[in-house]
Amino acid sequence: MAEHYSSFEPKGTRWLLQRITAAFLVVVLAYHFLLLHFVNHAADITFAGSQVRMSQVGYFSTMVLFLITAAFHGVNGVYNALVNQGLDGTQKTVVKWLLIVAGTLLVVQGTRVASAMTGLF
Amino acid sequence: MSQSYDRGLIEDFGRWQEFSAGMWAWIFHKFTGWVLIGYLFTHVAVLSTATVDGATYTQTLQGLESLLIVRFLEVGLLAVAAFHILNGIRLLFVDLGVGLEAQDKAFYAALIGTAAIAVASIPTFLLGAF
């Protein structure tokens, strides 16, 4: 293929998941930026405003799904970039598990934050 | 008809003057990706003040927004996100084999689009900062 250069093993599961999450994130990241910087200015954000948004089931679900896909896409991207740089052997295994733990903690904490923003917990 | 090119290792950054548009796109995509995942951890950490109480959350966000440097960093973050999104769309098309012959032009379009979005956002981000 002309000028093909990728950090991924072509057609692997992580390769495919990276593309699927990318397609979702392109839309939701743009929406997130527009809503919280242009519709509502960041300087005017208050807990009450966040609570109104997070109390809507559709918004809450979208934000949690956004968190999960962004964490996966980011952590998977970092892992593949490091493998591409030559990470191998024991170091590769250690880094893989560190990234899995970090990504999981990020999703757990982010979900706690989103739940706290509903004001119900 | 597809052709193969051996441009050498992109990791050999000392050769940067020989890099093609696609190689620069690869480097910028990695760089913006590292910034975005780093920011995501920071973002969740700051928003975690919501788990303390509502007043702490509001004070923290408004305190950060009162700093001029934060407003400029937000413009930078938008530029990074815009490039990663626009070049990401380009990559999805490249992976589908669509428009391969125009992938270099698509990279330049992503750069111009990023610059336009970043410049156009400055008044919004700096509103009330002075």
pLDDT-based confidence at B8, cuts 50/70/90? Answer: low
* B96: nearest CA partner in chain A: A19
Cα separation of A23 and A34, whole Å?
18
Domains and CATH numbers, chain A: 13-118 (1.20.1300)
pLDDT-based confidence at B20, cuts 50/70/90? Answer: confident
pLDDT at residue B111 tops 90: yes
Two tokens, residue A76: 């998977």
Cα separation of A31 and A41, whole Å?
14
Enumerate the residues of chain B whose CB falls inside 8 A of the CB of residue A74.
33, 36-37, 40
**B22 within 8 A of B105, measured Cβ to Cβ:** no
Coil, strand, or helix at residue B11?
A: coil
**B7 within 8 A of B24, measured Cβ to Cβ:** no
Q: What's the pLDDT at B34?
A: 97
Does the distance separating the beta carbons of A23 and B51 come in below 8 Å?
no
The mean pLDDT value of chain B amounts to 90
Mean pLDDT on B54-77:
96
What string of pLDDT tens digits covers the 121 residues of chain A? 445 556 556 668 888 999 999 999 999 999 999 999 889 888 899 999 999 999 999 999 999 999 999 999 999 999 998 998 889 999 999 999 999 999 999 999 999 999 999 988 7
Instruction: Kindly tell me the burial class for residue B67, based on how many C-beta atoms sit within 10 Å of its own C-beta (0-12, 13-18, 19 or more).
Output: exposed
Which of A116, A22, A107 has the alpha carbon at shortest distance from A73?
A22
- So what's the ipTM on this one? 0.89
**B124 within 8 A of A43, measured Cβ to Cβ:** no
Does the distance separating the beta carbons of A3 and B22 come in below 8 Å?
yes
Two tokens, residue B65: 């927004």
Enumerate the residues of chain B whose CB falls inside 8 A of the CB of residue A3.
5, 20, 22, 100, 103
pLDDT-based confidence at B5, cuts 50/70/90? Answer: low
Let me know the angle formed at the C-alpha of A27 by A25 and A32, rounded to the nearest 5 degrees.
85
* Nearest by CB: B92 against A19, A47, A78: A19
* Nearest by CB: B37 against A6, A75, A119: A75
Q: What's the pLDDT at A95?
A: 97
To which H or E segment does residue A104 belong?
A: helix A89-118
A interface with B, Cβ–Cβ < 8 A, is 1-6, 19, 22-23, 25-26, 29-30, 33, 37-38, 41-43, 45-48, 50-51, 67, 70-71, 74-75, 77-78, 81, 84-86, 102, 106, 109-110, 112-113, 116-117, 119
pLDDT at residue B56 tops 60: yes
Cα separation of B99 and A36, whole Å?
34
pLDDT at residue B11 tops 80: no
Two tokens, residue B2: 């597809």
User: At A118, which amino acid appears?
Assistant: T
